[in-house]
Amino acid sequence: MKTRILFLTAFITFHYSIAQKKADTVIIKIGEASKIIFAISDKKDLETLKHYNLQSLMSDMIQKLSNRDSTDLVKPATAYLKDTVPAHQITGVTDVNTQTEQNESLDENQDNTHYTIRKRPRRKTYSTFSMDIGTNNYLESGKFPDQNNSLYSVRPWGSWYVALNSIQRTRLANKFFLEWGGGFSWYNFKFQNDKVQMTKDDNGVSFQLDTRDVQFDKSKLTVAYVQASLVPMIDFSGSSRKPGFFNGFSSGFRFGAGPYIGYRIDSYTKQKFEQNGDTKKEHRHDSYYINNLRYGLRMQIGFKGADFFFNYDMNDLFTENKGPRLNAFSFGVSF
């Protein structure tokens, strides 16, 4: 009798264990002593799993574990859906905050309901500070003035061009950007002959040698502008920020060209000389019939943290019939 009872008990236990549906499990080892276990009892749930942003879910879970917080996650399960999913496709979704099954059915009138996770739009425009340092000169009928021994010929070394700009970089496409902004720039035309004196009368400007009995060290013309530029750029690195020494390097090659315009805010001549053992400087602020507007084309080629630029003024430096017809240009490094 006892044998029959034991046999019957074993038979019922065997069939009950067969009747229980085993869950498929996936074990992911983390380090030496930890693991993550996925238990899937219904393969239909795999389709639901595809719509979850597991990275966001894991980030929240890791943050709570790091803070030794044993409470439930505060977000509902639908908050981790990574895209728009019709409600009828997410059957079986339960709140990750609970540890008990919820078998609530969706209302038939809500079959067309969509759960939408709004993503923060990617920022399109970044601002940065940019500095141009280089040299400047001008052309007369396509030639340098020193080819004709003109008194207004300038020295390449010592004729510095400087610009300080606030540049905005706006992404228009994946690797296509628009760099726009404004700032201040200075032309410094250092004459080759230190005795050259620039003067002005009703007829225009003139250049002659200063006949004073002193030791001249420098003679130059400086023109300051407030300016704006608009330069479309192709940057193969795809970086949203304008590369530079002040805001990080970029490994990509980039190039672009675009217009600029400036308005003259000051101009003056400067002579430096020694007289009776004393160093003296003479500044004369005047318009010197210099065009108030300056406009032209800018080209940029860059790699890593620096750009090489070339600016060419398409209008004359002086107003018509008031001075030599000179087109100024500058080139150097922008960073």
Write the DSSP string, 268-327.
EEEEEEEETTEEEEEEEE--TTB-SEEEEEEEEEEETTEEEEEEEESS-SBPTTSS---E
Separate counts of helices (H) and strands (E) for the chain: 3, 15
Q: What is the Cα–Cα distance from 21 to 32, expressed in whole angstroms?
A: 31
Q: What is the Cα–Cα distance from 236 to 250, expressed in whole angstroms?
A: 10
pTM over 0.85: no
Each residue's pLDDT tens digit, 186-212: 999 999 999 999 999 999 999 999 999
The reported pLDDT for the residue numbered 159 is 97
Q: Identify which of 7, 101, 98 has the alpha carbon closest to the alpha carbon of residue 45.
A: 101
216: Cβ contacts below 8 Å, ≥ 6 apart: 194, 195, 210, 271, 272, 273
Contact 51, 83 (CB under 8 A): yes
Residue 262: φ, ψ to 5°: -135, 155
Domain parsing of the chain, residue ranges: 25-115, 125-334
Determine the Cα angle at 275 with ends 271 and 276, to 5°.
Answer: 170
pLDDT along the chain (335 residues), means of 10: 44 43 63 70 70 74 71 65 55 43 42 51 82 97 94 96 96 94 98 97 97 96 98 90 64 92 98 94 97 98 90 98 97 94
Contact 168, 126 (CB under 8 A): yes
Q: What is the Cα–Cα distance from 168 to 177, expressed in whole angstroms?
A: 10
Each residue's pLDDT tens digit, 223-244: 999 999 999 999 998 887 777 6
User: Which residues are 289's β-sheet partners?
Assistant: none
Question: Reduced to 3 states, what is the DSSP secondary structure of residue 230?
Answer: strand
Q: What is the Cα–Cα distance from 189 to 125, expressed in whole angstroms?
A: 36
Q: Identify which of 91, 142, 189, 183 has the alpha carbon closest to the alpha carbon of residue 325.
A: 142
Class of 125-334 per CATH? mainly beta
The reported pLDDT for the residue numbered 52 is 72
